[in-house]
């Protein structure tokens, strides 16, 4: 060969073919055809179209009634209750979870044991049982007092006045949520590298500062996805408060459904759509919160959906131009 070695690659002459050998440089590689993928896509599209068609055209769903109910004040009142119960329980549950996680990680065997037992018990008892138990709590203990066991009480209060349905619901959900949050938070704290604790200690940073500014922000990176998972479970879990006579989103729809039995299906769809919206909002917030806490953990921040869309369009345009050029 006359060319310098490695400059071009030449096809070996095929003995049976009389076509001249072509150089392989500067040639686009033809992408492999994937007919299986196209067939699977077509099948899935047909199934999706069928499902959507059924959803729209089946009179069973009564979409006109859905439109009637979707923004009714009773439903919106219920939604507000759902949001309130979920928000209070999420905050109290997380705070409780942080305390339980710190207790579980402490050096005191008593704190560790109490924390473990709490998590064990509350994760074992069904939420509905906790709620109904709390609902009947005032019948078991008429007054609650703070004092020394078997000794004098410092102050006491009448429970029936304090324990509104809302309070019962929030306490029940928070107790349950704290048990799960404790494990989520503990996992997050354990995921922070031991070297971070050592570096913080070696700099003489005060203990509280070490936790708030060094360990916890890093733990949040693994806490957030798990806690949001938990939070979505909590939002749906609020539907159980109906059984302690609190009219949340589900409860309102259920009540309306017994008054207008013909509308049960559209009412359930109203509830479904609202829960979908709530979950979506939480997911969007999750994305941006996660992105915020990713600072420093990755070399560059993950792109927002808008940035992804822009990059995708630029890509597509470039591809079309290439195809056109070939």
Partner 1 sequence: MTTETLEAPADAEAATVEVHDVHKWYGTHRVLDGVDLTVRPGEVTVILGPSGSGKSTLLRVINHLEKPEIGHVSINGELIGVKRQGERLKELSERAILTQRGRIGFVFQNFNLFPHLTVLDNVAAAPVATGRLGKTKAQELARELLGRVGLGDKTGAYPRQLSGGQQQRVAIARALALRPGVIVFDEPTSALDPELVGEVLAVIKDLATSGTTLLIVTHEIGFAREIADRVVFIDGGKIIEQGPPSEVLDKPRHERTRDFLSKVL
Residue 132: partners with Cβ closer than 8 Å, 6 or more residues away: 243, 244
Place of tokens 């310098």: 4
122 within 8 A of 178, measured Cβ to Cβ: yes
Q: Return the number of the residue (167 or 205) whose C-beta is nearest partner 1.
A: 205
Place of tokens 């004092």: 147
**Structure token pair of residue 165:** 């349905």
Judged by CB under 8 A, the stretch of 59-67, 204-212, 234-242, 275-283 that binds partner 1 is 204-212
122 within 8 A of 176, measured Cβ to Cβ: yes
Among 217, 222, 226, smallest CA distance to 296 is for 217
For position 214 contacting partner 1 by CB under 8 A, the verdict is yes
Shortest separation between residue 197's beta carbon and partner 1, angstroms: 9
Shortest separation between residue 216's beta carbon and partner 1, angstroms: 10
CA–CA gap between residue 15 and residue 272 (Å, rounded): 69
Question: What is the 8-class DSSP label of residue 61?
Answer: G
Q: Return the number of the residue (213 or 310) whose C-beta is nearest partner 1.
A: 213
> Under rule CB under 8 A, which residues in 299-318 are in contact with partner 1?
299
List the one residue from 5, 204, 261, 305 that touches partner 1 (CB under 8 A).
Answer: 204
List the one residue from 82, 218, 238, 239 that touches partner 1 (CB under 8 A).
Answer: 218
Shortest separation between residue 199's beta carbon and partner 1, angstroms: 4
> Under rule CB under 8 A, which residues in 146-185 are in contact with partner 1?
none
List the one residue from 15, 149, 151, 195 that touches partner 1 (CB under 8 A).
Answer: 195
List the one residue from 51, 120, 157, 209 that touches partner 1 (CB under 8 A).
Answer: 209
CA–CA gap between residue 199 and residue 235 (Å, rounded): 39
Q: What angle do CA 311, 312, 313 make, to 5 degrees?
A: 90
Residues in contact with partner 1 by the rule CB under 8 A: 193, 195-196, 198-207, 209, 213-214, 217-218, 293, 295-299
């Amino acid at each position: 060969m006359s060319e310098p070695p490695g400059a071009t690659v030449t096809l070996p002459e095929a003995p049976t073919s009389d076509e001249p050998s072509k150089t392989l440089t500067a040639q686009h590689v033809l992408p492999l055809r994937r007919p299986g993928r196209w067939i699977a896509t077509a099948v899935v599209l047909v199934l999706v179209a069928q499902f959507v068609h059924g959803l729209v055209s089946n009179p069973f769903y009564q979409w006109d009634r859905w439109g009637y109910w979707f923004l009714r004040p009773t439903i919106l009142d219920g939604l507000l209750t759902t949001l309130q119960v979920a928000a209070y329980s999420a905050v109290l549950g997380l705070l409780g979870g942080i305390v339980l996680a710190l207790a579980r990680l402490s050096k005191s065997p008593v704190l560790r044991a109490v924390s473990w037992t709490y998590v064990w018990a509350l994760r074992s008892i069904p939420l509905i049982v906790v709620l109904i138990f709390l609902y009947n709590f005032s019948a078991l203990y008429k007054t609650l007092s703070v004092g020394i066991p078997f000794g004098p009480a410092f102050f006491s209060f009448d429970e029936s006045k304090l324990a509104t349905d809302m309070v019962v619901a929030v306490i029940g959900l928070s107790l349950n949520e704290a048990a799960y949050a404790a494990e989520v938070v503990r996992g997050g704290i354990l995921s922070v590298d031991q070297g971070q604790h050592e570096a913080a200690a070696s700099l003489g940073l005060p203990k509280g500062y070490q936790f708030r500014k060094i360990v916890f922000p890093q733990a949040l990176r693994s806490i957030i996805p798990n806690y949001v998972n938990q939070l979505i479970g909590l939002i749906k879990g609020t539907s159980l408060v109906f059984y302690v006579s609190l009219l949340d989103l589900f409860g309102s729809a259920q009540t309306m459904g017994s008054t207008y039995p013909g509308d049960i299906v559209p009412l359930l769809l109203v509830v479904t759509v609202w829960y979908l919206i709530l979950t979506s909002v939480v997911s969007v917030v999750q994305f941006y919160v996660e992105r915020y806490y990713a600072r420093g953990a990755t070399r560059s921040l993950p792109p927002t959906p808008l940035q992804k869309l822009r990059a995708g369009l630029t890509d597509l345009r470039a591809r079309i131009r290439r195809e056109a050029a070939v």
